[in-house]
Amino acid sequence: MESLGDTLWDVVISGTGLQQSLLALALSRSGKKILHIDPNEFYGGSEAAFSLQDAKSWVTHASNGSCGLVKSASIALPEDATGLSPSRAYSLALAPQLIHARSAILSQLVSSRAYRQVEFLAVGSFFIFSPSRDSAEASGLTRIPSTREEVFSTTAISAKEKRLLMKFLKFVLDHESSPHLETWQEHADSPLVDFLQKEFKMGGELQTYIITLTLSLDGQINTRDGLAVIRRHLSSMGVYGPGFAAIYPKWGGLSEIAQVSCRAGAVGGAVYMLGTGIETMEIAEDEVELHLTSGDNIKTRMLVRADDSPSGQTGVGRLVAVVGSPLTSLFEATVEGAPRPAVALIAFPAGSLSTAAGEESAYPVYLSVHSSETGECPVGQSVLYLTTLATGNVTGILERALDAFIHATSDSQAPQVLYRLQYEQLPGADTARAEGPIFTFPAPSPSLSFDDSVLEPVQEAWKKVMGEAAAEAEYMVFEDREGAMDDDVYE
């Protein structure tokens, strides 16, 4: 049998994160000699999804610095908690990003035929957390109206505010055309909240509604980006069915897309090796010699890897909690004929939370609530994913958000928290680098919704691997393999 070292590989892909895996998908019909390795024993990299046992192993590795852009990882199991199911009943996602229906990644999954292996679920309503103003008033959740029907039916805002909101929603849908274009261009780099106040005379509450729809981690998204994100949300509404604008891949989010992409690479002839990393490398003019942790010495025309060097900028704090309640009220269809959603989003605006020491939240906290329909927990339970920028009091703020949410959704007995996984995701380089025969992807985005800019470096790397053949090939466009079943749901 031919050894790894006997082959001159066209490309070695290091890591099975989303971008590396999508590259494997893009190359799966190319006929190239591909070796795909990962120092981890699991697929997905920073976008992985874990059972409880896998999460425990991951935390151990993160504690000794071997998980790249992760620090301060810990697991907490309340002593009095009961009802936690066996490890494999859970699939906890490290990157639970929603995907808007107008996202380019969905078009690529369709054209590459990979969509057949991914099951998507509806993302439901967006809510705002409203803290109590006094001891006699309970905290609560308010649904954000983001369609014409929801604006007219909501009782959360006044008639005047409804008119302002409708005016803005109409503006956004046509904001790239005259005369709307001229209205916002001079404010393009200014915070969206300032534009909302100046041009639409919106008060703080309506501004918060709009900013929440952008899912901006610092709440300071500029006008140009904010209008584009909100337009994507509005134009995505109803694309795949009534009542929802975004979808979520079942069984662990982006991890499922990464694994499906790797399977396509394997079917196309790529060789896969988990638990295998790169110890040393020597770079020549047109090839790279790699010494792997498996003991193999190999040569490749090109190496593609991911950047795992912290940039020193502010990271994000994350808290994953499993609760012993289905939280049914959050997953109600709001439009007749709409599917029952499996994901709901809750925003805690900046300043709406405070720690036991009295420190207020400087940035928004976002909570993505996933029902058992996602396949991430057993029936009767829910998974809560909390995210905020990592300030000095991030642990206390996330814990406070979790407590506040549980009490806001409790009519009588508060649902029990069965499990907590907490960690900080560090930022890395935000641009791709091509240096001779080595191509380096940027660090994963901490965004709460999938950003299509993630796809650009993948196509760039594909072109470099393909060389002159890229001019003759259609990127991510494949015919069905022999034996594939016809399914025109997304055609």
**pTM for the structure as a whole:** 0.94
CATH number of the domain at 439, please: 3.50.50.60
Of the pLDDT bands very low, low, confident and very high (cuts 50, 70, 90), residue 166 is very high
On the question of pLDDT at 139 being above 70, the answer is: no
The neighbour count for residue 329, using CB atoms within 10 Å, is 10
pLDDT value of residue 392: 86
Distance CA 371, CA 109 (A): 25
- Among residues of the chain, what percentage have pLDDT more than 90? 77
Residue 38 belongs to some domain of the structure: yes
What integer is the mean pLDDT of 262-288? 94
Locate 337 and state its tokens.
Answer: 């004929």
Query: How does DSSP classify residue 5?
Result: G
Average pLDDT over every residue of 2-15: 92
Give me the mean pLDDT over the 242-263 stretch: 96
Q: Do 208 and 256 lie in a common domain?
A: no
306 and 450 together in one domain: yes
In a domain, 57, yes or no: no
| Residues 154 and 228 both lie in one domain | yes
Contact 91, 320 (CB under 8 A): no
Is residue 152 domain-resident?
Answer: yes
**Structurally, how many domains does the chain consist of?**
2
Q: What is the DSSP string of 461-485?
A: HHHHHHGGGGGTSPTT--PPPTTPP
CA distances from 223 to 83, 227, 365, 385 (A): 46, 6, 21, 27
CA 212 – CA 349 distance, rounded (Å): 8
Task: Provide φ and ψ at 283, rounded to 5°.
Answer: -105, 125
Question: For residue 341, is the peptide bond before it cis, meaning its omega torsion is within 30 degrees of 0?
Answer: no
Q: What is the pLDDT of residue 210?
A: 94
- Is the pLDDT assigned to residue 2 strictly greater than 70? no
- Please name which of 14, 22, 3 lies closest in space to residue 40, comparing C-alpha atoms: 14
Percent of the chain exceeding pLDDT 70 equals: 95
Q: For the segment 361-402, what is each residue's pLDDT rounded down to a tens digit?
A: 999 999 999 999 999 999 999 999 999 999 889 999 999 999
Do 345 and 246 contact (CB within 8 A), yes or no? no
* 178 domain-assigned: yes
pLDDT for 304: 98
Residue 272 is assigned to a structural domain of this protein: yes
Going from the C-alpha of 376 to that of each of 121, 273, 370, 383, 399, the distances in angstroms are 12, 26, 8, 7, 21
What's the token pair of residue 287? 């090839």
Q: Are residues 174 and 212 in the same domain?
A: yes
Rounded to whole angstroms, how far apart are CA atoms 408 and 389? Answer: 23
**Same domain, yes or no: 153 and 231:** yes
| Residue 346, strand partner residues | 127, 367
Q: Which CATH number belongs to the domain containing residue 220 in this structure? A: 1.10.405.10
> Which of 98, 119, 149 lies closest to 333 in space, CA to CA?
149
What is 17-54 written as a DSSP string? SHHHHHHHHHTTTS---EEEEESSSSS-GGG-EE-HHH
- pLDDT-based confidence at residue 411 (cuts at 50, 70, 90): low
Q: What is the pLDDT of residue 450?
A: 96
Please determine, for residue 128, whether its predicted confidence score (pLDDT) is greater than 90.
Answer: yes
Is the pLDDT assigned to residue 491 strictly greater than 50?
A: no
Q: Pairing state of beta strands 278-283 and 288-292? A: antiparallel
Burial class (CB in 10 A: 0-12, 13-18, 19+), 295: exposed
* Structure tokens, 364: 């928004």
Mean pLDDT of 253-267: 97
Q: What is the mean pLDDT of residues 5-25?
A: 96
pLDDT at 395: 93
Residues in the chain: 491
Mean pLDDT, rounded, for 121-130 = 93
| Domain coverage including residue 174 | 147-236
